[in-house]
Amino acid sequence: MNTTYRETAYTNGYEFTQGSGYELPEYPFVAPPELKSGKAQRHPVVIVGAGITGLTMACCLAKLGIAAVLLDEDNTVGVKGAASRGICYTQKSLEIFQRLGVYERIAAKGIQWSVGRTFAGKDEVYSFDLREQSNFGLSAQPPFINIQQFYIEGYLVERIYGLGHVDMRWKSRVTGFKQHNGYASLTVETPAGSYQLEAVHVIDASGSHTPFHGWCGATMTSRRGDDRWCIADVRFKNHPPKERHTWIEAPFNGNRAVWQHLMADDVWRIDYQMEPNADPEVVSREDVVRERLRQQFGPDVDYEIVWVGPYAYRSQCLDRLRIGSVFFMGDTAKIVSPFGARGGNTGVADADNLAWKLAAVLKGRAPASLLDSYHDERHEAATQNVQVTNRTARFLRPADGMERTFRSAAISLARQYPFARSLINTGRMAMANSYTHSRICDRTGGLSVQNVGFRWADNSRGTVNDLLEWADGDLLVLVFGDMSAAASQRLRQLASQAPVRCVQVMGTDSHAQAREHVRDPQGHLQGACHVFGHAWALVRPDGYLAATGESVDADLIQAIEQAIGLKS
C-alpha cells in the first residue's frame, strides 16, 4: 500500500486550527475471524499499541517470520491533531530501521545533523560535532536524523503489510485482560462487536495511560515535575542553520530555555520553556506564539505555523518489565523527559531486544528462560535514561539554593574556560545503552556493535547488518585472524549443533581458512566488536556483543550457552 501525507488544517481542541498540518493515513478495519466464529483463538504473540514501539516490534517479528496479532484502538499512525511527537532518531535506531528495510525512506525524507550548539544569552557556551566522536563516526548510518514520528510509523506499517506474518487489527481496543497458567486472555472491542482472543505472550506498547499496569498489578517509581513547555512547529521562508541550537537562558524567552531543531518538510520544532504556573491554553494561543516567534526571529520573520501545543514532563519507570505473560516496552515501561532523544528511541531498542529472543524461543532454538533477560537489559537501560534526563531537567529548571548556584557557576565558567563546558547539561545525546547486569551476557559483552563496513570475499562492500541478515536470527561468531585446523573443526561442529553462524574475519592479504570469510582491511569491524589481535566476538541478532574471547575453546561454547539462556 502507498501512504500519502497531505497538508491540512487540524480541527481538534488541543491546539488552534489556523496552522497547516498533516492529514494522516487511515487503515481499514477488517472483522477478525474470532468475531465470525465466536471462538477465542490462541496466538503466540499479541502486541497492543501501534505506535513506534509496537510497530517496530511487529516489524521485527515479521522479519523473523513470527506470526503475531497487532491491536490498535485507532486507525492511523501518529496522534490525530499532533503534528510531530518524537522527531529525533539516534544512530542505533537508524541501524535497526535499516535491518527492517525502512531506513532508506527515513534518510530520504528526514534531516541529518551532527552539530549542536548551546547558548547562554548571546554567548555560545558549549558545542559538539557527533561525527568527530568515535562512538558515532564509523557506522553506515549518521549520528541522528530528524523526522516526524508518524512518517516512520507509516513506513513501518507498509513494511509489515509487505512482509506478512502479522495480522494488523485497527479500531481494536483491549477492554479486558486476565492471566492464566501459560497464556493470557484479552477482550477486544471493535466497531463490529467484542470478542475474546488468547495469547501466549502479550506485548504492551499502548502508551503511558495503559490499563495493563492496573490489570497486572505493576508497581513503579515516578516523579512529576513543575516544568512547563510549549512546542511550536514552524515552516520558515528563510532557514536557520541545520544544527541543534539550545539556549539555557534565552533573552527572547524571559531567560528561560529554548530548543530549535529542523525536521522533514522544512518544518522547525521549537520548544519554549514556560513559567511553572503557565496556563497551557494561554501559552499555546496563536497570538502568544506569534509574539514569541517575533521576539526570537525579529518582526520581519516570514513563517507559517504548522502546529503548536503545551506539555509538561514527568518521569516514570516500572519495577518489573515482565509480569507473567506480559512484557512492557516503550512508554508503558518508562517515561522520560525528551532531553537527548531518549524516549521513542528506547522503545525501538526495547522491541529489537525482545523480538529476537521471542523468535528464538518460539522456533525452539532457545529455552523460555531466555525471555527473562529482557527485564535485566531493558530495565537497566530505562533506569539509566530516567536518571540522565532527570539530571538535565534539574539543570534546566533548578531548585532555589544549591542547584541554582551550581548552574549559575557552570554557565559563568563556561563563558570563559573550555574545561567547564562539559558541565553544561541541555541533554546528553542518546546512544545505545550498555548491558552490565544481563544474565545472558558475559562480562566482556553487553556493548552495541556499530553497523560498520567490511569487504566480502569477492571484495564487494558489506556491513554488520548484512552479516546479521545472513545469520537470520542465529548468533554470529566472528573469528579475527588466522585459525588453526582444530579451531576450524570446532566451529563447524558448533554451527551444526547450535543456533550460530561462524565467519572468519581477515586482513587484506591473509589466506582464508574458512569457507565463510570476510576481509576487514581498515580494522573497523574488529574495532566495532571491541577486540584486538587474534580474538573472537559473539554477536547477537540485535547487534549486541554477548561475549568476546581469544581462543576458540570451551569459553566460546559456554558463551553461546549463556547467550541463548541455557546457563546464567
DSSP 37-50: H--PPEEEEEEE--
Place of cell 582464508: 512
What burial class does residue 9 get, using C-beta atoms within 10 Å of its C-beta: 0-12 exposed, 13-18 middle, 19+ buried? Answer: exposed
> Measured between alpha carbons, how far is residue 63 from residues 49, 161, 365, 541 in Å?
19, 11, 17, 12
**pLDDT, one tens digit for every residue, the chain (568 residues):** 444 433 323 222 223 333 345 678 899 999 999 998 999 999 999 999 999 999 999 999 999 999 999 999 999 987 654 545 688 899 999 999 999 999 999 999 999 888 888 888 888 888 888 777 666 678 999 988 999 899 999 999 999 999 999 999 999 999 999 999 999 999 999 999 999 999 999 999 998 889 999 999 999 987 776 678 888 888 888 776 678 888 988 999 998 889 888 888 888 889 898 888 888 888 888 899 999 999 999 998 888 888 888 877 777 899 999 999 999 999 999 887 666 566 789 999 999 999 999 999 999 999 999 999 999 999 999 888 887 777 777 777 777 888 888 888 988 898 888 888 888 776 666 678 999 999 999 999 999 999 999 999 999 999 999 999 999 999 999 999 988 888 888 888 888 889 999 999 998 877 888 889 999 999 999 999 999 989 999 999 999 999 999 998 899 999 999 999 987 5
Tell me the pTM: 0.91
Do residues 347 and 332 lie in contact, with contact meaning Cβ atoms separated by under 8 Å? Answer: no
3-state SS, residue 22: strand
**Could you tell me the three cell numbers for 253?**
524567552
- Straight-line distance from the first to the last Cα atom of the chain, in angstroms, rounded to the nearest whole number: 45
For residues 204 and 329, what is the distance between their CA atoms, to the nearest angstrom? 6
> Measured between alpha carbons, how far is residue 158 from residues 2, 50, 329, 351, 517 in Å?
7, 13, 22, 18, 35
CB hemisphere CA count around 503 (13 angstroms): 26
For residues 66 and 68, what is the distance between their CA atoms, to the nearest angstrom? 6
3-state SS, residue 220: strand
